[in-house]
Chains A and B, each alone.
Chain A
Amino acid sequence: MPHIALPDLPGIRGPMAFRPETAKPLNDLVDVLLRGPSSLSPGERELIATFVSAQNDCRYCQTIHGAIAAHHLGGAEDLVVAVKTHPQSAAISDKLKALLVIAGKTAESGKLVTAADVEKARRLGASDLEIHDTVLIAAVFCLCNRYVDGLATWAPDDPAFYRQRAALVAENGYAASTLVTGPSK
């Protein structure tokens, strides 16, 4: 049971509906980061979000963002599992592997990211904007994971729930969900 009386919605959607004033900038931020114009594909960015949420052991976030990543990547659920469990041998680009190292360190503490980590990502083709966005995606999911678990929100068990929700989010985005779950504006 959640720590406070929240609307009966799973994961982050409960507190977001409870407090639409803060849900709006959060959803807008996640929309820009994960779905806005970027040289990283939405699937790659969702994989970073999933990887960080798995490292932070947040069940709702890693499952929903894993499902959204798989949806963007043509149903590649095995790849999502591989990225969560052994990213350095997963079938992803060397650039994304280097970005995941930066994301994993950011999630532990920003201070752990070294000049050598950044240099390696750059050598494998990462732009400054991609490095920036990787750090910010990792940081934002340190927020979302703590928000979800700090209020003891509930998470469905059925993988079908996440697949269905993933298709909706992939289609409509995150900013749209503020309007669905909270008062307008």
Chain B
Amino acid sequence: MAFRPETAVHLRALAETLLRGPNTLTSAEREAIAAFVSKRNDCTFCYLSHRAASAHHTGGDYSFVDTVANGEGVAPVSPKLRALLAIAGKVQQGGKQVSADDVARARAEGATDVEIHDAVLIAAAFCMYNRYVDGLATLTPTDPAAYDPMGKRMATQGYVPHAR
């Protein structure tokens, strides 16, 4: 990102809108979708940083995001979010995997078209960020604790420096 500020500014703006913009899904839920997809793409940096960001949207408690990222369809993950995660997981494999049934199930659980759209785009966007990070073999701390302050910053200050 620092190497190529011309592209970084738009990458940050996209993350800011998707994860922190006005939305009926909470930021904790959207960051958890990002962490879930990044974990499935085996991208340690994105997984652990967005895991921490999600946790810091709920006061630093990791239990919600860990339940989501582990793919456990249990409380406190709502049935609607579970259905959206099923869509996100298919997008991670390939867009064509998403079926009309998957979408109908999400809708039956109360998901709106914008929420379905955003679940697809968050998953697709993290298929990009994950490949960008790993394709350039960026430096990746492995201790989850190292990401806690980063997640707190992402949750409280966001992704666009001048918006702080």
Contacts and interface: CB of A to CB of B under 8 A. Distances in A.
Nearest to B119: A150
A31 B3 CA distance: 18
Nearest to B124: A146
B131 A149 contact: no
Contacts, number: 136
Contacts of A19: 114, 117-118, 121
Q: How extensive is the interface on chain A, given as a class?
A: 35 or more
A154 interface: no
Contacts of A91: none
Given A58-B95, A138-B135, A146-B91, A22 B17 contact: yes
Nearest to B88: A150
Main secondary structure of the interface of B (DSSP, over half): helix
A21 interface: yes
A18 B117 CA distance: 9
Contacts of A113: 134-137
A145 B131 CA distance: 14
A143 B90 CA distance: 13
A146 B14 contact: no
Interface of A: 3-5, 15, 18-19, 21-22, 24-26, 28-29, 32-33, 36, 56-58, 102, 105-107, 109-111, 113, 115, 128-129, 132-133, 135-136, 138-140, 142-152
